[in-house]
Amino acid sequence: MARVFSLVEPRFEIPSIGHLELEWAGAAHEALARQIGFQDQFRCLYRHVLLGLQSVPEENPTWQPRSLDLSARAGAVKTYVLLAVSIAEGALAALGEERHLGRRPGELYQKTFGQLLEVWKDGDNPRDEVAEIWEDLLTLRRYRNVVHLNRAAEDNITWQQILENEAPILDSADRVVDHLRNLSHIFRDAP
């Protein structure tokens, strides 16, 4: 059955790439700051769409619109996690390079998100710079890993579980991005 989609709030101001690029340029080199800025720009738009997408059956256009739900919504939440993890991966690599956490220059840019989390540990504990968002980073890692469908099946993570945890997942993603942006901002206190 076809549905007609709309947004609860069709107006949205997309943050400028120039502004976002500056927010990430304190730690990341210019090309990476621009890529992170583009991803962050899309994340902002995508959050607006995720939270505001609604629809009615095509044959009943006067019905009260319903929010995106069920497995389609769970897939949208997983995509939001992927966007946030992509940003976090770039920022953690750049910030780690700045702090010389790798064994050789440029090494951290080749690491996966999970590997970067290991780099950001001091023994068994997270480094001070990320301690505040450590649980959020682990939440993102858990839900990011369900992009591997065999992993989702092994861990028995269902779309219903994703929806039951939607608010905490989205909050974790936003806290991670906000915190890393603050650490990376061009007008920050350098380490």
pLDDT (0 to 100) of residue 184: 93
Q: List the chain residues with pLDDT less than 50.
A: none
pLDDT (0 to 100) of residue 166: 97
pLDDT (0 to 100) of residue 116: 98
Q: Where are the domains of the chain?
A: 3-184
Backbone angles phi and psi of 27, in degrees to 5: -110, -40
Q: Is pTM beyond 0.75 here?
A: yes
DSSP 119-141: HTEETTEE-HHHHTTHHHHHHHH
H or E stretch including 54? strand 53-57
Please tell me the distance from the alpha carbon of residue 100 to that of residue 102, in angstroms, as a whole number: 6
pLDDT (0 to 100) of residue 187: 79
pLDDT (0 to 100) of residue 44: 97
pLDDT (0 to 100) of residue 149: 78
Please tell me the distance from the alpha carbon of residue 116 to that of residue 134, in angstroms, as a whole number: 12
Question: pLDDT for 90-137, tens place per residue?
Answer: 999 999 999 999 999 999 999 999 999 999 999 999 999 999 999 999
pLDDT (0 to 100) of residue 182: 94
DSSP 14-80: PPPHHHHHHHHTTTS-HHHHHHHHHHHHHHHHHHHHHHHEEEEETT-TTSPPEE--HHHHHHHHHHH
Tally of helices (H runs) and strands (E runs) in the chain: 9, 5
Please tell me the distance from the alpha carbon of residue 91 to that of residue 21, in angstroms, as a whole number: 12
pLDDT (0 to 100) of residue 155: 75
The alpha carbon dihedral of 29, 144, 191, 39 has a sign of positive
125, 135 in Cβ contact below 8 A?
Answer: no
